[in-house]
Structure 1
Amino acid sequence: MRYFVYICFFISMSINSQESIDASLISSTDLKVNQIVDIDNFGIFYYLKDHTLYKQNKDGTSINYSNYQLGEITTANTFNPLKINLFYQDFNMVIILDNRLAEIFKIDFNTIQPYKYISHVSTGFDNTLWVFNIDLQQLELYDYKANKTRFSAIPVQSLILDLESDYNYCWLLTENFLYQYNYFGSMISKIENTGYTKISKSDGHLILQKDGNLYFKHKKKEAIVPINLPKLLINQFLLTNETLYIYDLEKLHIYQLKIN
């Protein structure tokens, strides 16, 4: 009986031991931009440089958008390429662009009622944005066409670090927890944050950064596992399907992940 217990113990340890994700280097390319926004499935490259959003095609041609009156773009989200949103935190304003980078909507949170002081913005479904309201310390799903808040989460008590979303889910990273909500506004998971500071998502999977290293969370699993990478200065990272992009302010490194 004692030997049987030992065998079960070692089997359990093997099953629950920490796994990892392998990453194979595809290429490294010289690059000088302020911020990488996205590289989509068609190879379209979105980036920020000198207060300007650029959309560059695979053939090298590009278009751009800038609004120097509003200054620096805090974040840009191109998850819906037909409704790209640019957040100007200094002016508490969001500009919505179409796929030709023409303005189609302007949201001035200073003038709407009730007033919203926003720190983070991400894309929602239809005509909505996920926004974090600093005054109320809560996540909201805001319909900018109807000027209506469709959903308000329970206020959080810790510093907000990052916000990511797609049409189905929204992930809110705070100093204490990583929250996941569905598009109805229901919280579907809450994981303790053990030091993660940034997140990126693709197809429901997450990449998380902690202490200069990257970790992977499968959309169907609770475990967060390390990604096997060489020592890199990671200024930015993003995931498109199983392709991981890492930018160190001088080079763009492209890795292929082996996701089971």
Structure 2
Amino acid sequence: MRYLLYIFLIISMTGISQEIIDVTPIDTSELKVDHIVAIDNFETFYYLKDNIIYKEDKKGVSINYSNYQLGEITTANAFNPLKVNLFYQDFNSVIILDNRLAEIFKVDFNTVQPYKNVTHISTGFDNTLWIFNVDFQQLELYDYKTNTTRFSAVPVQSLVLDLESDYNFCWLLTENYLYQYNYFGSMISKIENTGFTEISKSNGHLILKKEDRLYFKHKKKEEIHPLNLPKLLINQFLLTNETLYIYDLEKLRTYQLKIN
């Protein structure tokens, strides 16, 4: 009896539900890009190839932007299509692009005062970026137009793995915990990380990756459910509304995820 109770406690502490969520296959297509940035509701496709960001509509018409002087693009974010941001970690800099991928702002964290050593960025509301300042182990909400920090979180004590945000919330995944903050800077949840390494968000819902499996977290619940997927090579995954995209560097697979 004690053994069964012990097992139950372990399962409860992980926060992972044994309920498996079904997904429905929709499409599989050939694709050769380095990284998918975003696929929006209008099937506009943002991707990276050869250190260039491309924006392609569903008719195949594309525009692009490159800046080889800043080295490799570390991350790109097109959550706000009017303010697409590119992070160049080697140069500690961010480029902000408009909806035509024209440069509208550059942030050089080497020259701002106080100096910021940034490892992760994500889109905030208005003229802000969520940034992780590794020198202080702090998440910050940074206003790049006024060069002011609107909010600094309490320092975290473990390695940061991923950072995602929308206009209302920010999720910081570390080796120990998954933190969620609102745009006022208040931490609203803290969940133990039991091995997740990456996250993707849409409308407050999360997809999380652990080893070669994907899991789902509803925005109103703390339980994390495994997705019922075939064994796949998952190089990248994205969630757009109820559409899940899985990319293996050769094929893009599309699934329907029913969210209640």
Instruction: Quote the offset at 1:18 in angstroms.
Output: 2.4
**Partner SS for 2:90:** helix
**Partner SS for 2:191:** strand
The 5 Å alignment of 1:152-191 reads 152-191=152-191
| Contact residue 97 and residue 105 of structure 1 kept, 8 A | yes
* Alignment match, 1:192: 192
How far apart, CA to CA, are the structure 2 residues paired with 1:63 and 1:21?
Answer: 37
How far apart, CA to CA, are the structure 2 residues paired with 1:124 and 1:142?
Answer: 8
Give the residue type in structure 2 aligned to 1:223.
E
How far apart, CA to CA, are the structure 2 residues paired with 1:26 and 1:179?
Answer: 32
* Alignment match, 1:105: 105
How far apart, CA to CA, are the structure 1 residues paired with 2:71 and 2:144?
Answer: 22
How far apart, CA to CA, are the structure 2 residues paired with 1:105 and 1:60?
Answer: 27
How far apart, CA to CA, are the structure 1 residues paired with 2:51 and 2:187?
Answer: 35
| Contact residue 175 and residue 193 of structure 1 kept, 8 A | yes
How far apart, CA to CA, are the structure 1 residues paired with 2:71 and 2:56?
Answer: 22
| Contact residue 23 and residue 228 of structure 1 kept, 8 A | yes
Mark the runs of 5 or more structure 2 residues left unpaired by the alignment.
1-15
Equivalent residue pairs, number: 245
How far apart, CA to CA, are the structure 1 residues paired with 2:170 and 2:20?
Answer: 25
- CA offsets per residue over residues 95-122 of structure 1, 9 Å max, x none? 0000000000000000000000000000
**Partner SS for 2:70:** coil
* Alignment match, 1:124: 124
How far apart, CA to CA, are the structure 2 residues paired with 1:25 and 1:17?
Answer: 23
Residue 247 to residue 75, structure 1, CA distance change in 2 (3 Å): same
Instruction: Quote the offset at 1:259 in angstroms.
Output: 1.8
Instruction: Quote the offset at 1:72 in angstroms.
Output: 1.0
Q: Which runs of 4+ in 1 moved over 2 A?
A: none
The 5 Å alignment of 1:4-23 reads 18-23=18-23
Instruction: Quote the offset at 1:17 in angstroms.
Output: 6.4
How far apart, CA to CA, are the structure 2 residues paired with 1:236 and 1:58?
Answer: 21
How far apart, CA to CA, are the structure 1 residues paired with 2:20 and 2:257?
Answer: 11
Q: TM-score, normalised by structure 2?
A: 0.93
How far apart, CA to CA, are the structure 2 residues paired with 1:258 and 1:21?
Answer: 9
**Partner SS for 1:69:** helix
CA RMSD of aligned residues (A): 0.9
* Alignment match, 1:12: none
* Alignment match, 1:235: 235
Instruction: Quote the offset at 1:86 in angstroms.
Output: 0.3
* Alignment match, 1:63: 63
How far apart, CA to CA, are the structure 2 residues paired with 1:21 and 1:65?
Answer: 39
| Contact residue 177 and residue 191 of structure 1 kept, 8 A | yes
The 5 Å alignment of 1:221-232 reads 221-232=221-232
| Contact residue 21 and residue 259 of structure 1 kept, 8 A | no
| Contact residue 196 and residue 210 of structure 2 kept, 8 A | yes
* Alignment match, 2:143: 143
Q: TM-score, normalised by structure 1?
A: 0.93
In the alignment, does 2:202 pair up with 1:202?
yes
Give the residue type in structure 1 aligned to 2:48.
L
* Alignment match, 2:219: 219
Mark the runs of 5 or more structure 1 residues left unpaired by the alignment.
1-15
Give the residue type in structure 2 aligned to 1:226.
P
How far apart, CA to CA, are the structure 2 residues paired with 1:157 and 1:178?
Answer: 12
Give the residue type in structure 2 aligned to 1:58.
K
| Contact residue 163 and residue 172 of structure 1 kept, 8 A | yes
* Alignment match, 1:9: none
Give the residue type in structure 1 aligned to 2:103.
E
Instruction: Quote the offset at 1:22 in angstroms.
Output: 0.8
Residue 114 to residue 226, structure 1, CA distance change in 2 (3 Å): same
| Contact residue 132 and residue 138 of structure 2 kept, 8 A | yes
